[in-house]
Amino acid sequence: MPYLGSMDLVARQNIEAFSAKLSAKPHKRVTTALAFHDFNLAKATDALYNAGGAAIRRDATGTAGSNVGQELDATISYTPSRWYNLQLGYGRFWAGRFVKETNGVGVSGNADFFYLQSTIRF
């Protein structure tokens, strides 16, 4: 699982991130994983940057605080053979104070992310 979450909402610039990960292998062909991420701005008067390095929101006064939000990622992978893998994933982002206060009116800032991925090795 990616260091800053599967949803790719934040970059390493001006971010402090805490993460905790758990994984289990309930069957020889099945792997599950959960990852929790907590994001905070390193400097409240600087911007939040996206994964491409562009500033996407800023509060130059710092009054919006530094709590960007939390992300929870869950995956389940099935590997029926050594050449093939199927993975189902879900991510949820809960907007923190900084995101809520720098959003437009009526926008929560929360996000959901689903995906199905198939890998063939040769």
Q: Determine, yes or no, domain membership for 4.
A: no
Segment 20-25 mean pLDDT: 97
Residue 9, in any domain of the structure: no
Q: Considering the domain boundaries, does residue 1 fall inside one?
A: no
**What pLDDT does 1 receive?**
61
5, part of any domain: no
- Rounded to 5 degrees, φ, ψ at 43 are -135, 115
45-49, 84-88, 100-104: least confidently modelled range: 100-104
Residue 38 · residue 70 · CB < 8 Å: yes
* pLDDT score, position 2: 73
Q: How many CB atoms lie within 10 A of CB 38?
A: 15
Distances (CA, A) of 114 to 19, 65, 87: 20, 29, 11
73: β partners:
35, 91
Is 7 inside a domain boundary?
A: no
Average confidence (pLDDT) over 82-103:
95
Q: Are residues 102 and 96 in contact, defined by beta-carbon separation less than 8 angstroms?
A: no
Structural domain boundaries, residue 60: 15-120
Q: What are phi and psi of 99, to 5 degrees?
A: -65, -45
Per-residue pLDDT tens over the stretch 24-80: 999 999 999 999 999 999 999 999 999 888 999 999 999 999 999 999 999 999 999
Residue 6 falls inside a structural domain: no
Mean pLDDT of the chain: 94
Domain count, the chain: 1
Q: Is residue 56 part of a domain?
A: yes
**Domain-embedded: residue 3:** no
In whole angstroms, give the CA distance from residue 34 to residue 22.
5
- Dihedral of CA 61/63/65/68: which sign? negative
